Structure 1
Amino acid sequence: MNGFVDGQVDPAFRVVRDVFEASFAEGQNAGAAVAVFVDGRPVVDLWGGVADARTNRPWLRDTAVVTFSCTKAVTATAALRVAHEHGVGWDDPVTSWWPEYGAAGKDSTTLADLLTHRAGLPAFDRAVSAVEAADPTALAAALAEQRPVWEPGTEHGYHALTFGWLLGEFVRRHTGATVGEYVRRNFGEQLWIGAPPAGVDPARVGFPPAAQQQWTDPDPIDAATVAAMARAYRDPESLVLRASTNPLFSHNDPEVLAAGWPAVGLVTSARGLARFYNDLVAGEFLPPDVLARAVGEQVRGRDRVLLLESAYGLGYVLPSENMILPASAAATAFGHPGAGGAIGLGDLTHRVAIAFTPNLRRDWLSGDRRAYNLVDAVYSAL
């Protein structure tokens, strides 16, 4: 079993290595990494498997991979920092800094609405190409003209892709920088929302066999909700498919990665993502009082897009049906999951930062408990 995994682990956290090794032995991973900091100290830094199944390229210490919606927590932190630096209130109307956004009944929308998925713009109302998506200013302008699906601030629904371009416009209008530029400048050069530098070859993302993608373990979601979700994923007009597949993209496409989509485009290593949360928890990016308010619950309930229970702070996902965590973590952790199994977490109470970055895209509704088991192991060792 040890042949699958390399790296270091503090002896007190040996259980995390045991769980990680078991996931490879059981065929749950192709390539992956997990990193953990506790009170500023690295206690887990493990990796293993293959970065590219086509060539059998191994996963190395610094292998980076696209982390999908884990990106959103980084983008939200950028927006929160910019708001703090420029004195913008979370409840200030978007039109105070983006006048054009008030079109089509959106004049009451606040920055908090953008951060909590309450803006009512979960999907574009026309087809958008991946080429167009390389121009964040143009996409922001298209969203400014669009009519919301619901009255802003009254409901919440996951803005899978539009989240990034909405908040990206806030960052751009106040700093002149894209989210990717701002993040690298302020949060770390190992967080790439945009093309990684020469010499960085991201892991190739893949999927398990179709039989392993069936929804076999939806617990604790009730059967009626699972059935409604299944119908939505078969309906091309459903909000969830419109929100997540327009623009249609492949994150194995270098041009998509280069475009730096600020909702789903973060490329980094597990160590890089865990260090981001470590520094966030330590107060490096936001004042402690600002972060404490930002990770407090703003909304919870049935998500108009995902159809299950979701809960959000200001840009951060909180434990819910959309991010199921073990009981030991559920009371205090915050962060963001990424499509197919990735996760980044912080915990102000326990001073913990965790990241898991796989390249085999499983889904927890198909029985995927890789991140859950690793988080459970970390908290059992505290």
Structure 2
Amino acid sequence: MTAVEGFAEDGYDEVRKVFQQLVDDGRETGAGVSVWRDGREVVRLNAGWADAGRRRPWHAGTLVQPYSLSKSFATLAALVAVRDGALELDEPLATYWPAYGVNGKERTTLRQVLTHQAGQPRFPAEAAGLSLLDDAGLRESLERAAPEYVPGTSLGEHALTYGHLIDGALRAGAGTTLGEMFNDVVRPALELDAWFGVPDDDLERVADLEYADPAWPRLLHAAPWLQIPDGVLDVERANSTAWRQSVFGAVNLHTTATAMAAFFARLTADDGPVRALLGPKLHADLLTSQVTDFDEVFGTRITWTLGFVRDHGKIAKGGIGGSAAWWSRKHHHACAYLTRRLDDHSRAAQIAMALGDDLSVVGED
């Protein structure tokens, strides 16, 4: 048996119990859980290993890639440019990025990108031979491609393209990149232990990803949207230094459970750092329901804000593989469950149940 380390204050014993059971059952081999309430961390639990060789124990400072949870922070990078007047939410991207405004994308807006309505939920077939690290090539493939549907008329999470679309808009309209905007502006303003492009000194903290089942990548509902470019779900590539130090804004933020729970705990606060970063209007826009529809990639009805999933019980974001973080609108606490063992979201769902939360997607506010 692997011991769960850390603390759970009075009233949170069930969270520890559920987490220990996940470890004892072998469903978890390396993960962290953090819960924040009333401005402080009331649960910080760690278990398992940070590496495939099981020599580095998982600890509170372990960084891990939570896949699509990364998108919320790409959103913030875009909104800082809106705050500064370099971009506008409802101005066609072609105003700043002329090369993008072709083949049916002439009127596509940043708001449509941020709410997954831009019609480019995957990279086009012509990008199939490109490297994961070919930022320019992948961005240019999106420039040339026609959208899969008329922007604004349908919904599907832009599973891998989200960050490249934001990066293209930032390069063209603000003269910066997604990585620079996040690491130089967003991250320090929010005091986040989170990185797009892990610095050399922090590489030793990064956890290796592993499959719960080698067949897992092929069994995903979202698999058709994750095939180009090849290798996003290949753990050998994901565990490479080159990938960890690159910026692939849709999926490869690296962060800790404590950092994510702390962020969500302060996300909605009128006196919090997100509101201070964006200003009252953009902060309200960030959290307000923007669109509710059937999301083809999720395979369910869903409500998107500009960067999060929202329903009557929570404001949340998860990542393929099992990581998730949320703010409970009902109980006024925040939780993050970050894992290196790629599987479904049932583990995070059980932690949520122990807190009285529900991670199922309701699709309405």
* TM score, norm. by length of structure 2: 0.84
Task: Provide closer, same or farther for how the CA distance between residues 170 and 274 of structure 1 changes in structure 2, counting only shifts above 3 A.
Answer: farther
Cα distance in 1, alignment partners of residues 199 and 334 from structure 2: 23
Q: How far apart are residue 145 of structure 1 and its match?
A: 1.6
Q: Which residue of 194, 210, 215 maps to 1:191?
A: 194
**RMSD across aligned positions (CA):** 2.6
Partner of residue 5, structure 1: 4
Q: What is aligned with 2:251?
A: 264
Deviation at 1:197, TM superposition (A): 2.9
* Aligned 8 A contact 1:129 1:246 in 2: yes
2:97 is aligned to 98
- Contact 1:340–1:360 (8 Å) recurs in 2: yes
- 1:267-309 deviation digits (Å, cap 9, x = unpaired): 1111122223234333312334433332222222222334332
2:284 partner letter: A
Say yes or no: does 1:358 pair with 2:339. Answer: yes
- Check conservation: 1:30, 1:53, Cα contact below 8 A: no
The alignment partner of 1:57 has SS state of coil
Separation in structure 2 between the aligned mates of residue 80 and residue 38 of structure 1, nearest angstrom: 27
**Gap change, CA 1:363 and 1:153, over 3 Å in 2:** same
Tell me, what secondary structure is at the counterpart of 1:143?
A: helix
- Closer/same/farther in 2, CA of residues 154 and 129 from structure 1, 3 Å limit: closer
How much has 1:132 moved relative to structure 2?
A: 4.1
Change (3 A) 1:87 1:55: closer
Partner of 2:262: 275
- Structure-1 residue corresponding to 2:363: none
- Amino acid in the other structure paired with 1:318: R
Partner of 2:120: 121
User: Does residue 316 of structure 2 align to residue 339 of structure 1?
Assistant: no
Mapped contact 2:208–2:340 kept (Cα < 8 A): yes
State the one-letter code of the partner of 1:260.
Answer: V
Q: How far does residue 259 in structure 1 lie from its aligned partner after superposition?
A: 1.5
Partners in 2 of 1:93 and 1:127 — Cα distance?
25
Distance in 2, matches of 1:199 and 1:108, equals 41
Q: Confirm whether residue 377 of structure 1 aligns to residue 358 of structure 2.
A: no
- Paired positions, count: 342
Q: State how far apart, in whole Å, the 1-side matches of 2:201 and 2:38 are.
A: 33
| Structure 2 gaps, min length 5 | 232-236, 358-365
CA displacement at 1:22 relative to structure 2: 1.7
State the SS of the aligned residue for 2:226. Answer: helix
- Tell me the SS of whatever aligns to 1:42: strand
- SS of match in other structure, 1:172: helix
Match of 1:327 in 2: none
Asked if 2 retains the 8 angstrom alpha-carbon contact of 1:129 and 1:248, the reply is yes
2: CA distance, partners of 1:163 / 1:199? 26
1:199 offset after TM fit, Å?
Answer: 4.4
Residue in structure 2 matched with residue 220 of structure 1 by the alignment: none
1:254 is aligned to: 241
Distance 1:108 1:117 in 2: 15
Q: 1:69 is paired with a residue of what secondary structure?
A: helix
Corresponding residue for residue 322 of structure 1: none
**Higher alpha-carbon deviation: 263-272 or 188-197:** 188-197
Q: After TM superposition, give the deviation of residue 355 of structure 1 in Å.
A: 1.1
Please say if residues 75 and 307 of structure 2, whose CA atoms lie closer than 8 Å, have aligned partners that are also in contact: yes
Worse-matched range after superposition: 125-134 or 307-316 = 125-134
Cα displacement (A) at 1:183:
1.9
Aligned mates of 1:129, 1:68 — CA distance in 2: 20
CA distance in 2, matches of 1:130, 1:120: 22
AA aligned to 1:204 is D
Look up the equivalent residue of 1:284 and give its one-letter code.
Answer: P
1:156 counterpart residue number: 155
Letter in 1 for 2:303: A
Larger mean CA deviation between 131-140 and 103-112 belongs to 131-140
Partner of 2:299: 307
**For 1:81 and 1:348, how far apart are their aligned partners in 2?**
25
Distance 2:103 2:166 in 1: 19
TM-aligned CA deviation for residue 143 of structure 1: 0.9
- Stretches (4+) displaced over 6 A: none
Contact kept in structure 1, 2:292 and 2:302, CA below 8 Å: yes
Residues 175, 9 of structure 1: alpha-carbon distance in 2 compared, 3 angstrom cutoff: farther
After TM superposition, the score normalised by the length of structure 1 is: 0.81
Asked whether the 8 Å contact 2:315–2:328 carries over to 1, the reply is yes
**Which one-letter code corresponds to 2:282 in the other structure?**
V
Partner of 1:261: helix, strand, or coil? coil
SS at match of 2:265: helix
- 2:226 — aligned with what? 244
Is the CA contact (8 Å cut-off) linking 2:310 and 2:316 kept in structure 1? yes
Could you tell me which amino acid in structure 1 is paired with residue 273 of structure 2? Answer: E
> Structure 2 vs 1, CA of residues 133 and 36 (structure 1 numbering), >3 Å: closer, same or farther?
same
In structure 2, how many angstroms separate the alpha carbons of the residues matched to 1:190 and 1:176? 25
8 Å CA contact 1:31–1:359 kept in 2: the answer is yes
Task: Return 127-136 or 20-29, whichever deviates more.
Answer: 127-136
Which is further off, 290-299 or 343-352? 343-352
